[in-house]
Amino acid sequence: MIAVDKRTWVQGRPAAYSVAGQGMPVVLLHGWALAQHTYRDVVETIAAQGCRVIAPAMPGFGGSGDLPDASFSLSGYAEWVVDVLDALELEEPAVVVGHSFGGAVAVRLAHDHRDRVRSLVLVNSVGGSSWRNGSRLRSIAERPLWDWGLHFPSDIWPIRQATRVVPVIVEDLLPNLVRHPKAMVKVANLARRADLRSELEVLRDHDLSITIIWATRDGIVPRESFEALCVASGVAGTVVEGSHSWLLADPEHFGEVITNDMNIAKAARDLEAAEPTDRRRGIRRVPSLKRRRGADRRSEDRRASE
């Protein structure tokens, strides 16, 4: 399955995206400073499981126009994703996979547009808003920028991972820095302050299928934030070996980790498709034997009374 880069128009501005495969729709939302090219191997890995994967470059990244200031929020990003799906004439609910900042957009998308999301897969997602400073548990919005930067190098090394991750990240990171430096800063602050726990609680109460994955060496999203997401959504999270960008370093392993999620979503989709089958084929439902006997008895009573 080869990912193909395409462009369309959304909200009167250009929008870039990649698409691969056929079958159950999957929407992949990228992390901060990146875009669809960074996730090419991930897109193709998911598509190989019998899915149609759509990976948009979100506003301000990868050639997609910025959001207007009035729409600049997680809800604005979620609305933009819906408009992308409308532009591509995708009406069927999709499995939405969000990595890092894309996870926050994915949660908001499911909360604001429940009918467009079949299930959620959050990968090293922001939004838990929890950070441990010494012995104190604090809001991650209080985490100083120098501390974020201090942990960034650990997301690249060891060298074996760096040789895999750096080239794919640079393909989108450098153009984004040149073309949209203002958007980079604005989105960084939006991601840093994101708190999606109340939205996840609502989705939990609506029985949305949610999977939350975190990597052991993630210095960008701390374990406390991951655990807060799990508590809010009422799920037991999945912990894998790796750093914040582990799925970029090992897309094949990522495909293995989410295989069960894809299979469950496909089973639910097949069940929904099977429900109206009898009506499409013109099959007449025959009442049960018990109901038929009751109807015959009532008919006999009416004849006797006449």
* 131 has pLDDT over 80: no
* 138 has pLDDT over 50: yes
pLDDT at 52: 98
150-207 residue pLDDT tens: 555 566 555 456 666 777 777 788 888 888 788 888 998 899 899 999 999 999 999 9
List the domain boundaries for the chain: 4-305
| CB 84, CB 15: distance < 8 Å | yes
Task: Round to whole Å and give the CA distance between 283 and 277.
Answer: 9
| CB 121, CB 98: distance < 8 Å | yes
Interacting residues of 82 by C-beta distance below 8 A, sequence separation 6+: 109, 113, 116
In three-state secondary structure terms, 128 is: coil
Residue 142's identity, in one-letter code, is E
In three-state secondary structure terms, 274 is: helix
Residue bearing tokens 């807060």: 228
Task: Round to whole Å and give the CA distance between 160 and 146.
Answer: 26
Report the share of the chain in percent with pLDDT over 90.
64
Maximum pairwise Cα distance, the chain = 94
Q: What is the mean pLDDT of residues 20-39?
A: 95
Task: Round to whole Å and give the CA distance between 184 and 131.
Answer: 22
User: What does the block give as tokens for 290?
Assistant: 């018990």
Task: Round to whole Å and give the CA distance between 141 and 37.
Answer: 29
Strand pairing category for 4-10 and 13-20: antiparallel
Closest C-alpha to 110, from 187, 27, 13, 186: 27
Helices (H), the chain: 40-47, 74-87, 101-112, 145-151, 159-179, 181-192, 197-205, 223-233, 246-249, 251-257, 259-274, 277-280, 289-305
Residue 286 pLDDT grade (very low, low, confident, very high; cuts 50, 70, 90): very low
222-244 residue pLDDT tens: 999 999 999 999 999 999 999 99
pLDDT at 283: 38
241-280 residue pLDDT tens: 999 999 998 999 999 999 999 999 999 999 988 875 444 4
pLDDT at 136: 67
Interacting residues of 20 by C-beta distance below 8 A, sequence separation 6+: 1, 2, 3, 4, 43, 44, 47, 52, 53
The CA-CA-CA angle for residues 274, 280, 284, to 5°, reads 100
- Rounded alpha-carbon distances, angstroms, from residue 276 to 91, 268, 271, 273, 281: 18, 14, 10, 7, 9
- Other beta carbons less than 10 A from residue 121's beta carbon: 27
* 285 has pLDDT over 70: no
What CATH number has the domain spanning 4-305? Answer: 3.40.50.1820
pLDDT at 163: 65
DSSP-assigned beta bridge partners for residue 10: 13
